[in-house]
């Protein structure tokens, strides 16, 4: 049987197992010291005053928006070329998503379309730049539109742990930054988990209450809230994972460089463009090709796993179509969704595996 090239890989070692077992044995599973320590270290990594551990990246987005008061009558500018969970919290809160197109080379929000859509939106209150695939969004454009319309900036940094823009970490570039620890992410907590980071004391306090049944520090239920807590076992694994994040991101960047070197002269393959004012942490390595579905099938036959992130784009999913009164104008998003292909990418991918993937793509186009 052909040996598989896996799309991704989840790291577990003795240190992680030891920390997890120790936490199990501590019998302290929620509201304990490990979540607090992960919050402290994560805030330090991002350069923010606060970090609030929550049950998923989706919860981080939802609770941030709720804490900031987003609700019915508000418009929130979002890309459609992203994971569903960037947008679903907006609708869950009764607000209206206004979809913005992307730059087809960097895959992040188009500043021009953002400015255009913000000036046409009814009561725009917020914007959600997504640092998609690990590359920071063009934040100078986001900041300028946010300033002009007084928008709250919720960064969706669920794919960009450790990325920087003009020397600052993603998560610290807007009013709130939201992270996911889903197992395939650049770091995980061995299950679902998430974190929101902010410099805003009031927002952090409200988010802490919202994740814990609306309780204040004295245990009083001072607002409506559900349970979106991160647990101690997860945090224990997360602490160990966080200690490797910088090295793993460097390994991902090296893998991306090798793909570039191998595939740079294949005319059918459009490589992702890296901005020069930040660091890309390559959660995903996404190329564009003319006959994506056929190539994907061919690679699968060669034992090479790939992914598609995302087709259909959010505004064309059945759930979203039920919510939208008219189809938004998103020519680039709709053009690239049938062209994108995510190649195997993780910190432990070997040069031999990258070469095998690249050779197979080259063979397909010969
Ligand atoms: C861009 C983006 N936003 C939001 C999320 C939601 O995170 P989670 O799966 O932890 O809820 C994810 C990850 O799945 C994501 O990739």
The domain tally of the chain equals 2
Looking at the structure, tell me whether residues 56 and 183 fall in a common domain: yes
What is the domain extent for residue 142? 14-240
Looking at the structure, tell me whether residues 211 and 254 fall in a common domain: no
Looking at the structure, tell me whether residues 205 and 93 fall in a common domain: yes
Q: Is residue 4 part of a domain?
A: no
Tell me the three-class secondary structure of the chain, residue by residue.
CCCCECCCCCCCCHHHHHHHHHHHHHCCCECCHHHHHHHHHHHHHHCCCEEEEECCHHHHHHHHHHHCCCCCCCEEEEECCCCHHHCHHHHHCCCEEEEECECCCCCCECHHHHHHHHHHCCCEEEECCECHHHCCCCHHHHHHHHHHHCCEEEEECCCCCCCEECCEECCCCCCEEEEECCCCCCCCCCCCCEEEEECCHHHHHHHHHHCECCECCCCCECCCCCECECEHHHHHHHHHHHHHHHHHHHHHHHHHHHHHHHHCCCCCCECCCCCCCEECCCCCEEEECCCHHHHHHHHHHCCECCECCCCCCHHHCHHHHHHCCCCCCCHHHHHHCCCEEEECCCCCCCHHHHHHHHHHHHHHHC
Q: Is residue 9 part of a domain?
A: no
- 129 CB less than 6 Å from ligand 1? no
CA-nearest residue for atom 8, ligand 1, is: 57
Tell me, what's the pLDDT at 2? 76
Looking at the structure, tell me whether residues 232 and 256 fall in a common domain: no
Domain boundary among 215, 240, 265: 240
Looking at the structure, tell me whether residues 18 and 157 fall in a common domain: yes
Looking at the structure, tell me whether residues 132 and 274 fall in a common domain: no
- 85 CB less than 6 Å from ligand 1? yes
For the chain, what percent of residues have pLDDT higher than 90?
99
Domain boundary among 240, 272, 291: 240
Looking at the structure, tell me whether residues 211 and 255 fall in a common domain: no
- 56 CB less than 6 Å from ligand 1? yes
What is the arithmetic mean of pLDDT over 214-236? 98
Looking at the structure, tell me whether residues 249 and 267 fall in a common domain: yes
- Going from the Cα of 60 to the center of ligand 1, the distance in angstroms, rounded, reads 9
Q: Is residue 1 part of a domain?
A: no
| pLDDT tens sequence across 145-170 | 999 999 999 999 999 999 999 999 99
Number of the ligand 1 atom closest to the C-alpha atom of 180: 10
Domain boundary among 193, 211, 240: 240
pLDDT at residue 1 above 80? no
What is the arithmetic mean of pLDDT over 253-266? 98
Q: Is residue 259 part of a domain?
A: yes
Looking at the structure, tell me whether residues 224 and 325 fall in a common domain: no
- Going from the Cα of 157 to the center of ligand 1, the distance in angstroms, rounded, reads 9
Q: Identify which of 8, 53, 57, 196 to mutate to test ligand 1's pocket (most ligand atoms within 8 A of the CB).
A: 57
- Going from the Cα of 172 to the center of ligand 1, the distance in angstroms, rounded, reads 18
């Amino acid at each position: 049987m052909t040996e598989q090239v896996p799309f991704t890989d989840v790291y577990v070692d003795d240190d992680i197992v030891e920390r997890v077992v120790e936490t199990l044995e501590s019998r302290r599973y929620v509201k304990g010291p490990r979540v607090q320590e992960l919050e402290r270290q994560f805030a330090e990594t991002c350069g923010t005053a606060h970090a609030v551990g929550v049950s998923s990246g989706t919860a981080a987005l939802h609770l941030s928006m709720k804490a900031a008061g987003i609700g019915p009558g508000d418009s929130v500018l979002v890309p459609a070329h992203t994971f569903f969970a960037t947008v679903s919290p907006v609708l869950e809160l009764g607000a209206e998503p206004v979809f913005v197109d992307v730059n087809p080379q960097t895959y992040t929000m188009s500043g021009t379309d953002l400015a255009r859509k913000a000036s046409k939106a009814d009561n725009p209150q917020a914007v959600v730049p997504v640092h998609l695939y690990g590359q920071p969004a063009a934040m100078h454009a986001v900041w300028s539109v946010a300033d002009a319309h007084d928008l709250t900036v919720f960064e969706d940094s669920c794919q960009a742990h450790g990325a920087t823009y003009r020397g600052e970490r993603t998560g610290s570039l807007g009013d709130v930054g939201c992270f996911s620890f889903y197992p395939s992410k650049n770091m995980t907590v061995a299950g679902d988990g998430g974190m929101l980071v902010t410099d805003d004391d009031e927002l952090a306090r409200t988010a802490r209450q919202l994740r814990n049944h609306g309780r204040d520090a004295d245990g009083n239920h001072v607002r409506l809230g559900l349970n979106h807590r991160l647990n101690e076992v997860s945090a224990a694994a997360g602490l160990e994972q966080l200690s490797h994040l910088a090295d793993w991101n460097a390994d991902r960047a090296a893998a991306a460089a090798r793909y570039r070197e191998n595939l740079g002269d294949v005319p059918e393959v459009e490589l992702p463009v890296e901005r020069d004012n930040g660091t890309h942490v390559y959660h995903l390595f996404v190329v564009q090709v003319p006959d994506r579905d056929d190539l994907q099938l061919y690679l699968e036959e060669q034992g090479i796993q790939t992914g598609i992130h995302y087709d259909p784009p959010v505004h064309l999913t059945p759930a979203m179509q039920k919510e939208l009164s008219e189809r938004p104008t998103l020519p680039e998003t709709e053009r690239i969704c049938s062209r994108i292909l995510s190649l195997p990418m993780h910190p432990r991918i070997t040069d031999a595996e990258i070469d095998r993937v690249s050779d197979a793509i080259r063979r397909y186009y010969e």
